[in-house]
Amino acid sequence: MEARTSVKVKGKVLYVTEDPKLLSKQLAGEALSAEEVRGIDEGTIPLVDNISTDELTPGWVCYYYDETLARYCLVGLRGGVVQKDSIKSGGFSMIVSGRSKGCGSSRETAPYSEKEAGIDVVYAKSIEKIYGQNAQNIGLLTTTDKALFERLRAGEEVPITAFTAGLDPISAAVVQHGGLFAYNRARLAGEVSPPAIATPARKMTLAEKIIAAHAIVDAKAGKVGVPAVKPGDALFARTDVRFSHEYVTPMAESIFVAALGKDAKVTDPASVFAFRDHLTFLDLVMPEAHVKMGLKDQARKLAVVQQAFVERQGVKMWGEVERDGKTVGSEAICHNKVIEAIALPGQVVAGTDSHTCMAGVLGCFAFGVGSTDMANAWLTKDVRIAVPQSVRFNLHGKLRAGVTAKDVMLHLLSQPFWKSGEGIGKVLEFAGDGIAAMGLDERATLTNMAVEAGGFTGIIAADDVVLDYLVAQRGLARAELEKLVVTADEGAEYFATFDFDLGSIEPMVALPGDPRNGVPLKDLGARQGGDVKIDIAYGGSCTGGKKADMDMYASVLREAVAAGKRVAPGVHLYIQFGSQDIRRYAEERGYIDIFQKAGAQLVDPSCGACIKAGPGVSSTKEEVTVSAINRNFPGRSGPGQVYLASPLVVAASAIAGHIVAPSQ
């Protein structure tokens, strides 16, 4: 395929406005008036912000991984205006929205659905990192340049360089070639080559040092590592770990085979891992309407395709677990198992899930990628990286009683730096004596939720806490682990540095719609007009299903049981384990008995309700959930309203019947 030289948009523009009538008008084939368009341009008619990938392609749509996705583009958009085939049949070539387009999951199905529905260009005020890279990989053009948008809207043919301005050289080349595989074909044929990294030795952040050590200098000769990198340097980095789950493996494999042939082999399969952890409980909660659409069979095909892939390629898979002859859940949620058994300090870890960043708690550079990136990495063992800027969070002091890492993260996400979108694509590096005092599980909450800010990843330098964990968990030799530890250079340059006194942070809750909607819990009643009564309390997911989280649920529920209390009438409390190892931990400490006496329903490992695929999902828009999961974008865990909070608040609220702190 020859590189593109120019672009001209021939179809209609779809303005995704907050006014459902204006959106419906466009979907019905009517053009907006000049006055309405002017109102959109001037901001008096607001565009929808924070359109998540869950809204572009809801979880059930992702059971498909072909052109069928086009028929369901944007059907999850809040308000329910967009229906099946609305975008595909609308004659639209350009789609326009507000800030943070593509936030949330790393699913490549989201931009793929737009492209296959006929969209050539996506314009938004800001675009999230993973979504933007996925769009580049498949040849969907994106821009945040209003002047460029206006030229395209006017029918002007613009040079492709208008879309590459400000991009790193590799990303620019990918855009010009129409996608990652087209670029790589040219690269392997010697027609193009990545720029050599010529950055002289400099003081580097933690992420920069790991990237520099993994930068590919000569792929054929296997030469890896450069003296230094700086933000903006474009390179391919050698991965130590590549993993995918059943939601994404089939689509990645279809891309892999289409580009390389049915006999293509994964390079170094020992460093590739697969998980059956997302749809384990889907049959329990799939709506009857979806069953009638044939989605149950379609979803099952994902696991079948993945199983065939791992057997053919010799890839290790963590699958489902049976107990007493019945499938009870998965071995683990992928992120928990990556920490328990796979990743090591100083490594580069790529996974097909946005919360891959959780592994950064071990001092590795871990981040989510889309299907095309993973398909490419199966062959080359590398991933493309534009060296990101790092933001340093120095956490000092000690958390007050009843305050957790979840509260810290909800507090950080509520700050203007993140709400403005300024932090998109940045590495969150956590440090300070406050971090040193935290256990590994609490630190993992911070790195896990880095992506909720639109960050590239989260990372914490490995210390004695990490090394002690790896020795105890895996039986590794401490002396060998110490050789892997990477730390930031004193005097390294950061995009921004923030200092927070942990003692000043109080229990937090994020209002429905976005993890960045954090408010102090003590102010919730005043903001919401009284107590927020709940129907569901959900404790689990990779974020809220760790050993330390089990300690927190148990501490609150033990006290409640001792006082003769149980889960409030009309409330359902779910406690889900992040892995079978975590379940065994809870059993050994007697937590299972406490949970059951309190009236909790126990759920084995799986992503489950966090992705609307397991016990704990809401079924109506009136239902209210307080949840320990990491994100609450519209529709994420069902049609109801989801408030995010700490494990302590989740457990206490289940007993009280409304959102409340443990001490109340």
Strand locations in 324-439 (E) = 326-330, 348-351, 365-368, 382-386, 390-396, 427-431
CA–CA separation, 430 and 437 (whole Å): 12
Q: Of all helices (H) and strands (E), which one includes residue 123?
A: strand 121-124
Pairing relation of β-strands 624-627 and 508-510? Answer: unpaired
Q: pLDDT class for 664, splitting at 50, 70, 90?
A: low
Number of Cβ within 10 Å of residue 596's Cβ equals: 14
| Phi, psi (rounded to 5 degrees) for 607 | -65, -35
Q: What's the gap between Cα 300 and its chain centre?
A: 23
pLDDT digits (tens, 9 = 90+) for 20-78: 999 999 999 999 999 999 999 999 999 999 999 999 999 899 899 889 999 999 999 99
CA distance 576 to 571: 16
Least Cα distance to 535 among 605, 604, 609 occurs for: 609
- Alpha-carbon distance 24 to 146, whole Å? 24
Q: Which of 94, 89, 90 is nearest to 10 (CA)?
A: 94
Rounded Cα distance between 229 and 287, Å, is 50
Burial of 103 (0-12, 13-18, 19+ CB in 10 A): buried
Residue 1's pLDDT is: 47
Which residue intervals of 165-319 are DSSP H helices?
169-177, 180-188, 206-214, 249-260, 282-285, 288-292, 295-313
Query: pLDDT for 576-617, tens place per residue?
Result: 999 999 999 999 999 999 999 999 999 999 988 888 888 999
Helix (H, G, I), strand (E, B) or coil at 223: strand
Catalogue all structural domains in the chain, each as residue range(s) with its CATH number. 6-186 (3.20.19.10), 241-386 (3.30.499.10), 388-506 (3.40.1060.10), 508-664 (3.30.499.10)
- The residue among 341 and 189 whose pLDDT is bigger is 341
For residue 380, give the nearest of 195, 194, 135 by alpha carbon.
194
> In whole angstroms, what is the distance from residue 57 CA to residue 600 CA?
32
Q: What percent of the chain has pLDDT over 70?
A: 100
Is the CA virtual torsion 197, 145, 392, 521 positive or negative?
A: negative
How does pLDDT run across 611-661, given as a tens digit for each residue? Answer: 888 899 999 999 999 999 999 988 889 999 999 999 999 999 999 999 999
pLDDT tens-digit readout, 373-424: 999 999 999 999 999 999 999 999 999 999 999 999 999 999 998 878 788 8
- pTM for the model stands at 0.91
How do 6-7 and 158-159 pair as beta strands?
A: antiparallel
pLDDT attached to residue 492: 98
235: DSSP letter: E
What is the CB-side half-sphere exposure of residue 142 using CA atoms within 13 A?
Answer: 32
DSSP string, 6-28: EE---SEEEE-BS-HHHHHHHHT
Q: Return the H-helix or E-strand segment holding 603.
A: strand 601-603
Tens digits of per-residue pLDDT, 94-129?
999 999 999 988 899 999 999 999 999 999 999 998
**In the sheet where 141-143 sits, what is the strand order?**
12-15, 92-97, 121-124, 141-143
619 residue type, one letter = S
- State residue 2's pLDDT score: 61
User: In this structure, is the dihedral angle defined by the CA atoms of residues 488, 490, 492 and 495, taken in order, positive or negative?
Assistant: positive
What lies within 8 Å, CB to CB, of 487 at 6+ separation is 206, 209, 461
Percent of the chain residues topping a pLDDT of 90:
85
For residue 185, the model assigns a pLDDT of: 82
Query: Which single residue is written with the structure tokens 């328990």?
Result: 340
Q: Tell me phi and psi for residue 461, to 5 degrees.
A: -60, 135
For residue 251, give the 3-state DSSP assignment: helix
How large is the average pLDDT for residues 134-143?
96
Cα dihedral 201, 204, 210, 214 sign? negative
What tokens were used for 246?
A: 């059943």
Measured at the CA of 368, the angle between CA 639 and CA 508, to 5 degrees, comes to 50
CB burial of 164-199 (b: ≥16 within 10 Å; e: otherwise) equals beebbbbbbbbbbbbbbbbbbebbeeeebebeebeb
- Going by the DSSP 8-state scheme, the letter that residue 212 receives in this structure is H
Q: What is the mean pLDDT of the chain?
A: 94
Q: Which residue has the tokens 């865990």?
A: 637
> Which residues lie below 8 Å from residue 266, measured CB to CB, with a gap of 6+?
272, 313, 314, 315, 378, 379
Structure tokens at 56: 């572009």
Report residue 498: phi and psi, to 5°: -125, 140
How many residues would you count in the chain? 664
Furthest CA-CA distance within the chain: 74
| CA 183 to chain CA mean position, Å | 26
- Name residues whose C-beta falls within 8 Å of residue 185's C-beta, 6 or more positions apart in sequence: 1, 259
What is the DSSP pairing of strand 234-238 with strand 572-576? unpaired
In terms of Cα–Cα distance, which of 406, 499, 494, 409 is closest to 450? 409
Q: What is the pLDDT of residue 312?
A: 96
**Residues contacting 244, CB < 8 A, separation 6+:** 252, 273, 274, 275, 351, 352, 374
Residues 284-335: tens digit of each pLDDT: 888 898 999 998 889 899 999 999 999 999 999 999 998 888 889 999 999 9
Distance between CA atoms of 92 and 102, rounded to whole angstroms? 19
pLDDT at 28: 96
* CB-CB contact of 643 with 618 (8 Å): no
User: Which structure tokens are listed for 25?
Assistant: 């008008």
pLDDT, residue 105, reads 84
Distance of CA 262 to the CA centre of its chain: 30
CA distance 639 to 180: 36
Report d(CA 57, CA 107) in Å as an integer.
8
Q: What is the CA radius of gyration of the chain?
A: 24
Q: For residue 86, name the pLDDT band (cuts at 50, 70, 90).
A: very high
